[in-house]
């Protein structure tokens, strides 16, 4: 169940194919668009090394249960045995960017397994990205359960 809490952070991610197909994403700096796609893959693949590079050291998640998680907890949840996530599509996308920063968000229905148990949750999320030390990283995520979802 701990992984389900972290999966709220998945709101952070965009499925790479869907993200590149929208005109708003086409306007993102190429390095940011690549980081977003890499973050999606890392979450779905449970790639702790990639997550470690893509999340800022001071990353904070306000998850859908109202709990606060840090980078270490997020990575632990995504790399836990018995955890998996199916590909997803972002609906009602929000994309805003400015030099050195961006907010990416929308609504997703996430499905997979957490500690070997199936889950399905619908979330509205917002991820804040910042360019630090020449690379894009997620610095903050807010995830809220969609009523009736």
Contact predicate 28/52, CB 8 Å = no
Q: How far is the C-alpha of 44 from the C-alpha of 117, rounded, in Å?
A: 16
Counting Cβ atoms within 10 Å, is residue 95 exposed (0-12), middle (13-18) or buried (19+)?
A: buried
Q: How far is the C-alpha of 58 from the C-alpha of 90, rounded, in Å?
A: 26
For residue 24, name the pLDDT band (cuts at 50, 70, 90): low
By DSSP bridging, strand 55-62 and strand 84-85 are unpaired
**CATH 3.10.450.50 is held by the domain 2-145:** yes
- Flag whether pLDDT at 16 surpasses 80: no
pLDDT number for residue 43: 87
Candidates 17, 37, 33, 3; CA nearest to 110 is: 3
For residue 26, name the pLDDT band (cuts at 50, 70, 90): confident
C-beta neighbour count of 4 within 10 angstroms: 21
Phi, psi (rounded to 5 degrees) for 3: -65, -35
DSSP letters along 101-130, please? EEEEEEEEEEEEEETTEEEEEEEEEEEEEE
Q: Give the mean model confidence (pLDDT) for residues 3-22.
A: 42
By DSSP bridging, strand 55-62 and strand 68-70 are antiparallel
């Amino acid at each position: 169940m701990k992984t389900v809490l972290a999966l709220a952070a998945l709101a952070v991610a965009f499925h790479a194919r869907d993200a590149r197909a929208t005109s708003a994403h086409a306007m993102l700096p190429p390095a940011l668009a690549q980081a977003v796609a890499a973050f999606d893959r890392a979450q779905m693949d449970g790639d702790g090394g990639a997550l470690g590079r893509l999340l800022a050291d001071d990353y904070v998640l306000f998850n859908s249960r109202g709990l606060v998680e840090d980078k270490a907890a997020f990575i632990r949840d995504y790399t836990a045995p018995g955890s998996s996530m199916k590909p997803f599509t972002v609906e009602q996308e929000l994309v805003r960017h400015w030099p050195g920063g961006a907010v990416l968000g929308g609504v997703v229905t996430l499905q997979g397994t957490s500690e070997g148990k199936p889950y399905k949750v619908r979330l509205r999320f917002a991820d804040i990205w910042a360019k630090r030390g020449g690379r894009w990283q997620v610095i903050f995520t807010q995830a809220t359960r969609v009523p009736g979802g």
